[in-house]
Amino acid sequence: MQSETIQKDLQVTAHLDEARRQLDICNACRYCEGYCSVFPAVHSSRSFATGDLNQLANLCHNCRGCYYACQYTAPHEFQINLPKALAEVRQDSWEEFAFPQAAARMFQRSGVVLAIATVIGLALLIGALKWLGSAGGEGFYASLSHNMMVAIFAPAFLFPLFSLGVSVKRYWQATGGGSVRTKDIVDALQSVFQMKNLAGGHGDGCNFEDEDRFTRARQMAHQLIMYGFLLCFAATSVGTLMHYFFNMPAPYPLFSLPKLLGVPGGIMLTFGTVWMASLKLKADKELGDVSAWGGEMAFILLLGFVAFSGLLLYVLGTTALMPSMLAIHLGAVLAFFLLTPYSKMAHGFYRLASLVRDAKRKNDLQQQ
Amino acid sequence: MNKHVDVLIIGGGNAALCAAMTAAEAGAKVFILESAPKAYRGGNSRHTRNFRCMHSEPLSVLVDSYSEEEYFADLMKVTDGKTDEHLARLAIRSSEECLPWMQEHGVRFQPSLSGTLSLARTNAFFMGGGKSLVNAYYRTAQKLGVEVLYDAPVSHVEVNGDAVTWVDYEHKGQTQRVHPKAVIVASGGFQADTDWLARAWGPAAKNFLIRGTPYNRGVVLADLLEQGVQSVGDPTQCHAVAIDGRAPKFDGGIVTRLDCVPFSVVVNKDAQRFYDEGEDVWPKRYAIWGRLVAAQPDQVGYVVIDAKSLELFMPSVFPPIKADSIEELATKMGLPADKLRETVDNFNAACGDDKNFHPTELDGVSTTGISPAKTNWARPINQAPYYGYSLRTGVTFTYLGLKVDENAQCSNSNGPIKNLWAAGETMAGSILGQGYLAGYGMTIGTVFGRIAGREAAKHAK
């Protein structure tokens, strides 16, 4: 164990040194300044401490524009591959800031382990249905009582939130965040909602699935996933409110808020994840952290599976398949929630933090 | 081999691609022979960053206006009047319509880079730099049906009387022959052939670094000149600047520049100063320093600054050599320590009142009583730690090229060669006799590339 930790530390240091070496070259060149938020942040500094590197790595959205534009990529002796160097630092940072760290080390990179965790989630839910059963509710609750669902899902939702809170706080401290203005947050959210950092600076998008060709495919697939997820999340939140405050338990008809939000959300999420997975298959693995590819892909598929099983559950809600579908869907949701701080899902939180940090840097400059 | 080619283009950089796209749009079957492998395609255009452009009102990322007269005056200043006015004005005047054309063909511009504000009005920067421009042009050219072969250096262009009859090139170890209707040469200068450079300049050139592509070896240029195609430009001259002495022999590009000379003392390997480091702002002096360093023993110079100047210039690609004393710095740089101490002491003693020091303008803070004097930014080198860089001569391009007329057409003693044109660096000597104006190489390449493409396609019909 001891030597494993030392080896891990050595690898983290090697990744930081490599990123620093490349950024010194970028800082003397500056040709990529217009592509994204990373380069203006790089050019505002002459040397890069570990916290700076973590910030730059999380600010990088891996659009790869800089790689294909670079006159110093291999076979040139400078061997620039900034998307990869920053992806490696980014991946290390997520494992470093996670709470507990061991969980992130287990799930971030391995698709197999993530798949096993999902199967365990499914098994638990099927077991719960089989052994706990219902206390005589209706609809879905005929299979698993509402109270039992809450007993399982409340902790499974709250713990990841707590864990992510710890991680973001660690991130903020490491990158020297300090106090935040409302404007910093508004600027960062604007960047997220438009996915500016995947637009290439000129709006033509990024270089992902077809070498140096600019397309908006990845930007759009990402936004389908993000907005689909937010709609599904809103549907669940609205459902919870309706249940507790308006005494309107599920299932809900099509023309109800939870369904009007959830069904389009589920469709967007399903299509978005399939699209993203297909783009990822075409993209050059060597421009990212190769060791994390499996974990990332498994996460996309899990997210897609959550959405697709949710849609199926809606379609099959009145048939005899419902109880099995319910177990499968809730099991996937359970795995997804619990893995959120330790899977690619965590990137959203770090990314948002880095965008707030960068907005703060820019707004600080403007105030001077 | 009976490959049907209307327009054969030799070279794969900006001028070649502009010619290819223009000819293809005019309906010609175009074939590009690029000597470099795909990863190194694009010649020196890979290393460029902007396009100098005339404009009468704000245009794309360019602010205000930049008139033909001002542009031409800027050119005359750097070339000391050694300029073909007719062709220079043609390039300048055409540049304005080129910018939107470049955008239509995939180029994206960005505002002037940090540290280059002085160019925001005159030079449109390529988003991502020259390689991204090259990438965009290859994509567009291929969409237009242009065929591209990489790793295909041309070995011979057969000129017979007033026409090119065939072209030989090497590919996968075999010589291939094509009989195109028209040929455009856009294969750059000869600076990467260091033997040729040494013959032209003298043996010192062996110590020069080549800032750009190792593939500009001037093979086609030499072949055509031998067959009596008319040349232009001083065969002994190249454009060179002073760069970081640790730069790679080839292809170091933009990052190897060093902007610290105005805040330094520069010595040769004997630890002796040899020129006024503060004569003018660096962008106006780096070319002179390329020649100055070339004239020193072993063609090397050493820059010494102290702690107070470290952050006054753009970061260097490699970290400076750092030491706590002048003697230690001298040892680390391989200079005689006592001599460097003496030179720095003499310099420091000659420095006077420096409270008017201003890093970005000519501040008149000068030395008194030493030779050579330092006439601006003269502050004593006395605050540890001390930092050092070596300086070497970095060659950007050569002036010798093919003489062309306003249609980019080449000629020999019998008059115009009816199916041979040239564009880009290989004919830039037709316009620029000496010196260089930032972003003008891309202007020449774009303007004359388009002219050559148009004329060649017209001929091939």
Mutate to test the interface with A, among B109, B131, B140 (most CBs of A within 10 A): B131
Average the pLDDT over B383-402 and give the result. 96
Domain boundary among B357, B375, B394: B394
- Residues in contact with B54: Cβ distance below 8 Å, sequence separation at least 6, in sequence order: B66, B67, B68, B71, B92, B93, B95, B96
**Residue A313 backbone dihedrals phi, psi, to 5 degrees:** -60, -40
**Quick one: pLDDT at residue A136?**
62
State the distance between the two ends of chain A, measured CA to CA, in whole angstroms.
49
Of B39, B46, B315, the CB nearest to A27: B315
Of A28, A66, A70, the CB nearest to B314: A28
Q: Give the separation between CA B232 and CA A10, rounded to whole angstroms.
A: 58
Q: In this structure, is residue B2 part of a structural domain?
A: no
Q: Are residues B306 and B421 in the same domain?
A: no
Q: Tell if the CB–CB gap between B127 and A25 is shorter than 8 Å.
A: no
**Quick one: pLDDT at residue A298?**
93
Give the burial class of B461: count Cβ atoms within 10 A of its Cβ; 0-12 exposed, 13-18 middle, 19 or more buried.
exposed
**Quick one: pLDDT at residue A322?**
84
Q: Are the C-beta atoms of residues B126 and B10 closer than 8 Å to each other? A: no
Count of structural domains within chain B: 2
Chain B residues in contact with A73 by the CB 8 A cut-off are 39
Q: Does B82 touch chain A (CB under 8 A)?
A: no
**Quick one: pLDDT at residue A148?**
80
To 10 degrees, what angle do helices A146-174 and A322-339 make? 20
Chain B residues in contact with A24 by the CB 8 A cut-off are 315, 317-319
Q: Tell if the CB–CB gap between B115 and A30 is shorter than 8 Å.
A: yes
Q: Are residues B67 and B187 in the same domain?
A: yes
Which residues partner with B257 through β-bridges?
Answer: B243
B340: pLDDT strictly greater than 70: yes
Q: Would you call A277 helix, strand, or coil by DSSP? A: helix
**Quick one: pLDDT at residue A1?**
56
How distant is the Cα of A145 from the closest Cα of chain B, in angstroms?
A: 58
Mutate to test the interface with B, among A37, A39, A71 (most CBs of B within 10 A): A71
Q: In this structure, is residue B229 part of a structural domain?
A: yes
How distant is the Cα of B439 from the closest Cα of chain A, in angstroms?
A: 14
The CB density around residue A56, as the number of other CB atoms within 10 Å, is 27
pTM over 0.90: yes
Q: Are residues B387 and B405 in the same domain?
A: no
**Strand pairing class (B30-33; B147-149):** parallel
CA A297 from centre of chain: 12
Q: Are residues B245 and B358 in the same domain?
A: yes
Q: Give chain A's largest Cα–Cα span.
A: 71
CATH label of the domain that carries residue B285: 3.90.700.10
Residue B253: pLDDT band by 50, 70, 90 thresholds? very high
Please report the number of interchain residue pairs, chain A to chain B, with beta-carbon separation below 8 angstroms. Answer: 91
Q: Are residues B93 and B230 in the same domain?
A: yes
Name the residue with higher pLDDT: B425 or B284. Answer: B425
Chain B residues in contact with A70 by the CB 8 A cut-off are 129, 131
Q: Are residues B267 and B202 in the same domain?
A: no
Q: Are residues B180 and B315 in the same domain?
A: no
Q: Does B319 touch chain A (CB under 8 A)?
A: yes
Q: Are residues B411 and B378 in the same domain?
A: no
Chain B residues in contact with A33 by the CB 8 A cut-off are 110, 113-114
The CB density around residue B37, as the number of other CB atoms within 10 Å, is 12
The CB density around residue A46, as the number of other CB atoms within 10 Å, is 12
Chain B residues in contact with A43 by the CB 8 A cut-off are 114-115
ipTM computed for the complex: 0.95
What is the dihedral sign for C-alpha B44, B46, B47, B51? positive
Q: Does B29 touch chain A (CB under 8 A)?
A: no
Q: Are residues B124 and B257 in the same domain?
A: no
Q: Are residues B160 and B45 in the same domain?
A: yes
> What is the number of alpha carbons within 13 Å of residue A310 lying toward its C-beta?
30
Share of chain B above pLDDT 90, in %: 93
Q: Are residues B350 and B297 in the same domain?
A: yes
Q: In this structure, is residue B328 part of a structural domain?
A: yes
How distant is the Cα of A70 from the closest Cα of chain B, in angstroms?
A: 7
**Quick one: pLDDT at residue A240?**
84
How distant is the Cα of B41 from the closest Cα of chain A, in angstroms?
A: 10
Chain A residues in contact with B108 by the CB 8 A cut-off are 200-202, 204
- Per-run averaged pLDDT (10 residues), chain A, 368 residues: 82 97 96 96 94 98 98 97 98 94 84 82 77 67 79 88 96 94 96 94 95 97 97 91 82 88 96 98 97 94 94 88 86 90 95 97 89
- The chain A residues in contact with chain B (CB within 8 A) are 24-25, 27-35, 40, 43, 46, 65-66, 68-77, 200-202, 204, 212-213
Q: Does B39 touch chain A (CB under 8 A)?
A: yes
How distant is the Cα of B413 from the closest Cα of chain A, in angstroms?
A: 41
**Strand pairing class (B7-10; B182-185):** parallel
Q: What is the pLDDT of residues B406-461, one digit of tens each?
A: 999 999 999 999 999 999 999 999 999 889 999 999 999 999 999 999 999 999 98
Q: Are residues B359 and B246 in the same domain?
A: yes
- Residues in contact with A178: Cβ distance below 8 Å, sequence separation at least 6, in sequence order: A360
Q: What is the pLDDT of residues B114-162, one digit of tens each?
A: 877 789 999 999 999 999 999 999 999 999 999 999 999 999 999 999 9
Q: Tell if the CB–CB gap between B132 and A75 is shorter than 8 Å.
A: no
Domain boundary among B394, B420, B445: B394
Chain B residues in contact with A34 by the CB 8 A cut-off are 110-111, 125, 127-128
Strands across the sheet containing B7-10: B147-149, B30-33, B7-10, B182-185, B415-422, B409-412
- Residues in contact with B348: Cβ distance below 8 Å, sequence separation at least 6, in sequence order: B380, B381, B382
Domain boundary among B377, B394, B411: B394
**Quick one: pLDDT at residue A34?**
95
CATH label of the domain that carries residue B192: 3.50.50.60
The CB density around residue A223, as the number of other CB atoms within 10 Å, is 18
Q: Are the C-beta atoms of residues B89 and B406 closer than 8 Å to each other? A: no
Residue whose token pair is 């939000």: A261
* Domain ranges across chain A: 2-95, 100-367
How many contiguous H segments (helices) and E segments (strands) does chain A have? 14, 2
B1: pLDDT strictly greater than 60: no
Structural domain boundaries enclosing B18: 7-235+399-460
Q: In this structure, is residue B1 part of a structural domain?
A: no
